Amino acid sequence: MPPSPADASRAPVALRRLGTPEEFRAAEEVQRAAWGMSSDSPVPAAIQRAIADNGGLVLGAFQGTALIGLSLGFLGREGPRLFHYSHITAVRPEWQNRHVGRSLKRFQREEVLAQGLDEIRWTFDPLQSRNAFVNVRELGGVPDRYFAQYYGPMGDAINEGLETDRLRLVWSLRDRRVVDRLEGHRPTPAEDEERWRASTPLVETALGPSGLRRPARVRPPAETRVTLEVPADLASVRARDQGSARRWREATREAFTVAFASGYRVDDFAVLAVGGERRGVYFLSRPEGSVGA
């Protein structure tokens, strides 16, 4: 077992490529711990080795000699466009919320640029506000496609009982927006709230019997600037009201699908503090004069 985060000052987290059979097996354990896997299987050590030795990247975050996080990806292609596809970024639960995942993504960016590529893509659950905040807000990635039931049923603790819808995110590594976000240039909370109040919600919400917010109605997009709300803490919703979690999935699927088909783009993501509540919000816009599908 790796040392606890309380011991982090004794041995700073180091980032490097995985290279030994023991490290690849340790990466299996990181995946099991990160997702609470029981029936589902991690990416096997042998596949990791094949990826790492043939142009892909299997990157690790180490506390001393112990592996506490990893990112795994490989070369992707869409038409003539080549990019790095990041399949997994996983951090052991006791090390989450300590910037290990962010550090791995920054390291991944450096390694991909060194390979001569300038784009990384991956998918994430649009209902996971923590992931949306890191991917869109802090890293500057842009979600551009919505996939319903992308992986089919999954049995790990994070996905079990909920359809596995995903957003595809494009991270343009040399884009000015990405560089600015990596340097810490982001809207202020006041600017976020001002934009939120000036935008039209695609998903109208209300407090449910559990005391948590849930979707009440999905509105078709019409205005230039809109918002799309998701749970600020999906784990709490699932623990207290599984039915509301499914309603969030259905409402978000409908709203994103129609918005993308109508020419809207995701500009940002924020977690707002409004009236004592934390509310996760995607900001979307459509260019003036554009015509949706």
Q: Which two tokens stand for residue 64?
A: 């001393």
Identify the residue with better confidence: 269 or 36: 269
290 in a domain, yes or no?
A: no
Lowest-pLDDT range of 3-7, 138-142, 253-257: 3-7
Report the alpha-carbon distance of residue 216 to residue 204 in Å, rounded: 6
User: 15 and 95 in one domain?
Assistant: yes
Q: What phi and psi, each to the nearest 5 degrees, are found at residue 57? A: -130, 125
CB 199 within 8 A of CB 223: yes
User: 148 and 13 in one domain?
Assistant: yes
93 in a domain, yes or no?
A: yes
Domain hosting 232: range is 189-285
Of the three residues 162, 182, 202, the one that is the final residue of a domain is 182
56, 137, 292 from 288: Cα distances, Å: 41, 24, 11
Identify the residue with better confidence: 162 or 136: 136
User: 146 and 21 in one domain?
Assistant: yes
47 in a domain, yes or no?
A: yes
Q: How confident is the model at residue 231 (pLDDT cuts 50, 70, 90)?
A: very high
Q: How confident is the model at residue 9 (pLDDT cuts 50, 70, 90)?
A: very low
User: 57 and 162 in one domain?
Assistant: yes
Of the three residues 149, 182, 215, the one that is the final residue of a domain is 182
The rounded percent of the chain whose pLDDT value lies above 70 is 94
User: 223 and 148 in one domain?
Assistant: no
Report the alpha-carbon distance of residue 68 to residue 76 in Å, rounded: 26
Q: Indicate whether 293 pLDDT > 50.
A: no
Lowest-pLDDT range of 72-76, 202-206, 287-291: 287-291
User: 49 and 175 in one domain?
Assistant: yes
Q: Which two tokens stand for residue 52?
A: 């790492």
The rounded percent of the chain whose pLDDT value lies above 90 is 80
Average pLDDT, the chain: 92
Of the three residues 166, 182, 198, the one that is the final residue of a domain is 182
User: 103 and 25 in one domain?
Assistant: yes
Lowest-pLDDT range of 2-6, 26-30, 66-70, 202-206: 2-6
User: 162 and 22 in one domain?
Assistant: yes
Residue 200: how many CB atoms within 10 A of its CB? 13
Report the alpha-carbon distance of residue 130 to residue 230 in Å, rounded: 11
291 in a domain, yes or no?
A: no
Lowest-pLDDT range of 3-7, 56-60, 146-150, 174-178: 3-7
CB 156 within 8 A of CB 35: yes
25 in a domain, yes or no?
A: yes
Across the range 32-58, mean pLDDT stands at 92
pTM, 2 dp: 0.91
User: 173 and 30 in one domain?
Assistant: yes
What are the b/e assignments for 158-180, b being 16+ CB within 10 Å?
bbeebbbbbbbbebbbebeebee
User: CB-based contacts of 135: which residues, under 8 Å, 6+ apart?
Assistant: 122, 124, 141, 143, 169, 171, 269
User: 221 and 80 in one domain?
Assistant: no
Beta bridge partners of 60: 16, 70
Q: Indicate whether 154 pLDDT > 90.
A: no
CATH code (residue 156): 3.40.630.30
293 in a domain, yes or no?
A: no
The DSSP secondary-structure symbol of 44 reads P
Residue 278 corresponds to which amino acid? Answer: R
User: 166 and 41 in one domain?
Assistant: yes
> For position 284, what pLDDT does the model report?
98
Across the range 134-156, mean pLDDT stands at 93
Q: How confident is the model at residue 6 (pLDDT cuts 50, 70, 90)?
A: low
Q: Model confidence over 236-275: pLDDT tens digits? A: 988 888 889 999 999 999 999 999 999 999 999 999 998 8
What is the SS3 assignment for 185?
coil
User: 277 and 262 in one domain?
Assistant: yes
Report the alpha-carbon distance of residue 201 to residue 222 in Å, rounded: 10
